[in-house]
Chain A
Amino acid sequence: MTGRFLQLGRLIAVLAIAVCFCACVEDDVKRGNEALRIGDYDRAVLNFSKALDVQPADRDARYGLALAYYAIAEDKERLKGSTRDLWERAVKEFRILSNVDSSGRIDAAYSTGLFYLARATLAEDSRTNVLPLLDHSILLDTANYFSYNLKALILANQGRVEEAKKIYVYIVTKEPKFASAYLNLGNLYWEEHDVESAWDIWSMGHEALPKDAALARWTRVAEDSLKAMVQSGEL
């Protein structure tokens, strides 16, 4: 009987220690999250890393660390500097996180991270094939139109214009407020000297987004071109 109670005591002690560990990890995660929210990303990285040292599979700590790296990279993005390494670091954390959390809650952020990484990679070397990254990004989040848009641009650059056009049409159908898709699709027609179609697309975008200066401008440019063509008898 005494032995049984000793075993019971041990078990309770182990459980209590486990709960204490959870509580410690939780404190670090909480602090990391606070830091993340107020923009103290370095401190956020520190706290989340500390939590992961104790519990490498802690989902929140891992997600927090990935978000902290993401925020650091995004901050640098605004300064127009090289961000590839930073995005690689963030994406690596998301990749590890995906082994811990398969709930789908992190997929949108992971998808955006992949988009950024693809774009940062292209910025460093435009010949690098980033399509697998973008396909992975789209697979994770089919509503990530930034990845669709970049993929279409790359395809157009590779001469696969019709595929690119289809993607742009898909984007504006699904997200009529996505200005870049109108601009880029119109641009494809413009480069084909199909001014009429270019005007169609840009004016459609202008109608959907009347405050978008670029769309307004290129709609006017296309109109002027059409007028000039009429006057010159080309139309």
Chain B
Amino acid sequence: MSVLDDACGCTLLHEGGEARIYKFNSGGRSFVLKWYAEGVRIDSRSVEVLLRGRFPGAYRIFESGVRDGRAYLVYEFIEGAESDTVAPLPPAVALYSLRKVTRTLSDLARQGVHHGDLNPSNVIFGRDGEPVVIDCGIVGPGAPAFAAPERFQGKPATEKSDLYSLGMLLYCWLAGEPLLSAEKFDAYAAAANSADGLDPTTLLYAKGVGAETLARLEPLWKGLLRSSPEDRVEDFDELDELLEIAFDAECGGEVVWNSTRKAFLASVESKIGTNCCNRGETSDLPVAFAVTKRTGRRRVALLLAAIVLILSVMALFLLLLPAGNSVDETGKRMLEKSRALETEVPEAESPEPFEKMPEAVLESLPVPGTNDGEE
């Protein structure tokens, strides 16, 4: 049974070129329906893995398919705020969160799944402040400001390309804006190809990030923001180590960290629910997903109809079954017997050559069902 069957309280969250995103309730839980635009393809392997398994820090897909020639996904609704809405983040929070995301991506990578479209909109901070990665497996470069150079060349997502995107994501979280900004797709591609020349440290310094923090971040930029995949860190595990080192130095001890985190949670809390493009007004699911909702009254009507149907079938069975093979058959047999034509008529005892035929016409009638009609 599809969760869409009992969908109610639908809200349009987002409408863009890539997809329309709806939130709806079903069975007491909230879900997201992401209906991709025509031509947008999603990696079936990624969807399959996320349908089957549960990965901490990653969204859970409940249903996937195609409606009206367009792919769709149904996944759990993450109560929280898109990460770009709460940026800039305190460096310690950004490092902590990026480490969480890295671990999630590492788990997925072990299943052969690479995200391919890591950007601030695809990381949601929940009420507990933990990041949740959504929208895995898009086919295509993804958000241009965050896409690795090789992705612009049409290459599939890899661990290395995701590592580059993580670097871009970290910068965005710290700066509150993407590192790359361009008018056209080609310009983004060119900028990504020159990633080695980017200077996030200077830019962040201009935004007020402290020198010590910048120094702690430096190894990350060197290991992530590289145009050549070979120049990037080896894998997620290596990145995790770098992030651990940076975080430990940045968090400032348990008390400071708790205080920083508390302020961050308050910031997330204030942004929850701002991701609805029609301000929470109820919307209808697309026609392609419309289902007959079984309200209480309808359920009663359906139950009633089912009972009536069963009783009708029983009554028909009782009434019609014998009609075909009992009284009608008996009648048929009786009629056949009645109408049996005489094939042999006993000869009169003493025929007279020139006698007149009997006058009593009735006697000359064959009596149906007897052999003595002709006398």
Contact = CB atoms under 8 A, between A and B. Distances in A.
A109 interface: yes
Interface in B311-335: 311, 314-315, 318-319, 322-323, 326-328, 330-331, 334-335
B288 interface: no
A74 B364 contact: no
Given A19-B311, A187-B357, A221-B354, A180 B373 contact: yes
B183 interface: no
Contact of B347 (A146, A153, A217): A217
B285 to A, nearest CB: 28
A77 interface: yes
A211 B361 contact: no
Contacts of A178: 341, 366
Interface string B349-366: 001111111000110111
B314 A19 contact: yes
B300 interface: yes
Contact of B308 (A15, A78, A116, A149): A15
A33 B326 contact: yes
Contacts of A37: 330
A204 interface: no
A67 to B, nearest CB: 5
Nearest to B316: A22
B304 interface: yes
B178 interface: no
Interface string A50-78: 00000000011001100100110010011
A8 B365 CA distance: 63
B362 A179 contact: no
Contact of B322 (A29, A154, A156): A29
A106 interface: yes
A96 to B, nearest CB: 15
Contact of A191 (B355, B356, B368, B374): B356
Interface residues of A, number: 72
B345 A15 contact: no
A129 B225 CA distance: 116
B338 A112 contact: yes
A221 B368 contact: no
Contact of B351 (A1, A67, A70, A221): A221
A180 B364 contact: yes
B contact residues, range: 35 or more
A157 interface: yes
B307 interface: yes
Given A122-B362, A224-B353, A212 B334 contact: no
Nearest to A153: B361
A123 interface: yes
A148 B231 CA distance: 110
Nearest to B358: A187
B329 to A, nearest CB: 9
B346 interface: yes
A146 B315 contact: no
B342 A19 contact: no
A142 interface: no
B369 A74 contact: yes
A214 interface: yes
Contacts of B254: none
B328 A63 contact: yes
B365 A149 contact: yes
Contacts of A106: 331
A144 B346 CA distance: 24
B109 interface: no
Contacts of B357: 183, 187, 190-191, 218
Interface string B291-307: 00000100010011001
A98 to B, nearest CB: 14
Given A5-B300, A18-B311, 17 more contacts: A4-B300, A12-B307, A15-B311, A33-B327, A63-B328, A64-B330, A74-B368, A78-B367, A112-B335, A146-B368, A157-B361, A177-B341, A179-B341, A179-B342, A180-B374, A213-B347, A214-B345
Interface of B: 296, 300, 303-304, 307-308, 311, 314-315, 318-319, 322-323, 326-328, 330-331, 334-335, 338-339, 341-348, 351-357, 361-362, 364-370, 373-374
27 contacts: A15-B307, A18-B315, A29-B327, A64-B327, A71-B334, A74-B338, A74-B368, A78-B367, A78-B370, A112-B338, A126-B362, A153-B365, A178-B341, A179-B342, A179-B366, A180-B342, A180-B364, A180-B373, A184-B361, A209-B343, A212-B342, A213-B344, A213-B348, A214-B345, A218-B357, A221-B355, A225-B353
Q: What are the 8 A-B residue pairs with the smallest beta carbon separation, nearest first?
A: A213-B347, A187-B357, A153-B361, A214-B345, A60-B327, A15-B311, A33-B326, A211-B344
